Amino acid sequence: MYKGIDVSEHQGTINWKKVKAAGCRFAILRAMKQNGKADIQFLANARGCQENGIPYEVYRYTYALLPTEALEEAKQVVQLLQSQGNRQCRIWWDVEDKSLEKLGREVLTGLIRTAENTILGAGYDFGIYTDQAFYQAGHFDASAFDCPFWIARYPISRKFTFAENPPSEEYKPRISHPLFAWQYTSKGSISGISTPVDLDVCYMPFWKTKTEYYLEEVFHGSSISAALESIGADGSYHYREEIAAANQILDYKGTSAQNMRMLELLRTGKLIKP
Quick check: is 51 in a domain?
yes
Identify whether 212 is part of a domain.
Answer: no
Residue 202 above 80 pLDDT? yes
Q: What is the mean pLDDT of the chain?
A: 91
129 and 192 fall within a common domain: yes
Q: Are residue 178 and residue 232 in the same domain, yes or no?
A: no
**Domain count along the chain:** 2
Same domain, 116 and 7: yes
Q: Are residues 160 and 257 in the same domain?
A: no
SS3 183: strand
End-to-end CA distance of the chain: 10
Beta-ladder partners of 198? 6
Give 211 or 209, the one with higher predicted confidence: 211
Q: What is the pLDDT of residues 7-63, one digit of tens each?
A: 999 999 999 999 999 999 999 999 999 999 999 999 999 999 999 999 999 999 999
pLDDT score of 182 more than 90: yes
Per-residue confidence (pLDDT) for residue 26, from 0 to 100: 95
Task: Reply yes or no on whether the pLDDT at 216 is more than 70.
Answer: no
Statement to judge: residues 178 and 242 lie in one domain: no
E-only strand ranges, the chain: 2-7, 26-30, 56-61, 90-94, 125-131, 149-152, 160-161, 179-189, 197-202, 213-214, 271-272
- Note down the domain range covering 19: 2-202
Give the model's pLDDT for residue 264: 87
Mean pLDDT to the nearest integer, 142-168: 93
Say if residue 238 is in the same domain as residue 172: no
Q: 2 near 204, Cβ under 8 Å?
A: no
